[in-house]
């Protein structure tokens, strides 16, 4: 998710006179940010504590849930404005099947030659 908090006004207002202050995002569930994997796949970096007081918030939800309410609040000229959006976060499901039996090694395999 890459969300932004901004004030949209009619054309005749000058938005530079109405700056947003005290911005606060509320991100429910298990969220991470700045997920970066090394080029060779040897390591990765994940942040679970990411900034929630900027005009934008960038994160990934790790867990799934229905009716997840994300909120943002900001002050404009001493008045608190609030907004929210509801998300249904889906995640894949998988079944794991285990098989038991004998494991063996053999070096007597026919060599496949397509020519």
* pTM, rounded to two decimals: 0.70
SS3 content of the chain, % helix, strand, coil (to 5): 5, 40, 55
Q: Which is higher by pLDDT, 70 or 35?
A: 70
Q: Which long-range contacts (CB under 8 A, 24 or more apart) does 94-98 make?
A: none
21-to-18, 32, 76, 84 alpha-carbon distances in Å:
9, 24, 7, 17
pLDDT value of position 19: 85
115 has a pLDDT exceeding 80: no
């Amino acid at each position: 998710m890459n969300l932004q908090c901004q004030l949209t006004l009619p054309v005749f207002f000058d938005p530079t006179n109405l700056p947003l202050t005290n911005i606060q995002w509320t991100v429910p569930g298990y969220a991470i940010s700045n997920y970066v994997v090394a080029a060779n796949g040897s390591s990765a970096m994940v942040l679970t504590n990411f900034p929630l007081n900027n005009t934008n918030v960038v994160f990934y939800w790790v867990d799934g849930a229905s009716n997840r309410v994300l909120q943002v609040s900001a002050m404009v000229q001493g008045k608190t404005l609030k907004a929210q959006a509801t998300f249904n976060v889906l995640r894949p499901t998988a079944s794991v099947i285990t098989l038991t039996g004998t494991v063996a090694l053999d070096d007597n395999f026919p060599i496949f030659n397509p020519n």
